[in-house]
Amino acid sequence: MSLQLSDVSVTRGKARIIDALSLPPLPPGSMTALIGPNGAGKSTLIHAIAGLLPASGELLLDGQPLPALPRDERCRRVGLLPQTLPQAAGLTVYELLLGGLRTLGIAHGEAETRIEDVLQRLRLTPLALRPLATLSGGQRQMIALAQLLARQPRLLLLDEPSSALDLHWQLAMVEAIRSEVQQRQSIALLALHDINLALRSCERVIVLANGRCAADGEPLTVLSPDLLAGVYGIRGQIEQCSLGRPVFVLDKLI
Q: Strands (DSSP E) along the chain, which ranges?
A: 3-12, 15-26, 31-35, 56-61, 64-65, 78-81, 155-159, 187-191, 204-209, 212-217, 234-240, 246-253
Query: How many CA atoms lie less than 13 Å away from 35 in the CB half-sphere?
Result: 26
Name residue 186's amino acid: S
Confirm or reject binding of residue 71 to other proteins (CB under 8 A).
Answer: yes
Length of the chain: 254
Is residue 50 part of the contact set for other proteins (CB under 8 A)? yes
| Contact code string over 109-148 relative to other proteins, x by CB under 8 A | ---x--xx--xx--xxxxxxx-xxx-----x--x-x--x-
Cα of first residue to Cα of last residue in the chain, in angstroms, is 42
Task: Pick from 100, 161, 211, 236 the residue near other proteins by CB under 8 A.
Answer: 100
Smallest separation (angstroms) from other proteins to the CB of 140: 9
Binding mask 190-209 for other proteins (x = CB under 8 A): --------------------
Q: Does 153 bind other proteins (CB under 8 A)?
A: no
Is the Cβ–Cβ distance between 158 and 148 less than 8 Å?
Answer: yes
Residues in the site for other proteins, rule: CB under 8 A? Answer: 50, 52, 71-72, 74-75, 79-87, 89-92, 94-96, 98-100, 102-104, 112, 115-116, 119-120, 123-129, 131-133, 139, 142, 144, 147, 169
